[in-house]
Amino acid sequence: MSEEDLESTPPEVIKIANQAAATTNLKWTREQNVNNYTENVLLAYFSSLSKNLRSVKLWAQYSMVTAQLSLKRNVNIGKYNKLTAFLKRQDEVYKPRKSEVLSKEHIDNFLFNDYQH
């Protein structure tokens, strides 16, 4: 969070947001019987997330996990090169859908034929 966010957000809301961000990862590590945050553990965690999340959401989760682990566990995952390479590959896998574009004829047809009811 930026300084401005911290100043304008009530402390109890910040606490709830921080707990929510940490809960998902901590719950997963408990379910897997893991109590450390090695690169392989985080690769497995993000791999499981990648089945349901697009790359943009993975990066957002990465940012939250990075902050939480840095603050709460004094772990710097920024140096986990395999993890960042995995996340970058997820960007390549994601193929955005291209929206259909209306032609001039479609627009004219709508404006001059369909719309005059």
**Per-residue pLDDT tens digits for 13-34:** 777 776 665 566 667 888 888 8
- Cα angle: 60, vertex 26, 8; to 5 degrees: 50
Handedness of CA 74, 77, 80, 86 (dihedral sign): positive
Extents of the domains making up the chain: 3-114
Please state the rounded mean pLDDT for residues 86-95: 80
Residue 24 CA: distances (Å) to CA of 31, 48, 56, 116: 11, 12, 17, 54
Residue 2 CA: distances (Å) to CA of 18, 41, 64: 14, 29, 13
Residue type, 62: Y
The structure tokens listed for 47 are 């791999």
Which band of pLDDT confidence, cut at 50, 70 and 90, is reported for residue 93? low
Q: What is the C-alpha end-to-end distance of the chain, expressed in Å?
A: 53
Dist CA 25 CA 42 (whole Å):
9
pTM above 0.85, yes or no: no
Under 8 Å between Cβ of 30 and 42:
no
Residue 114 pLDDT greater than 90, yes or no: no
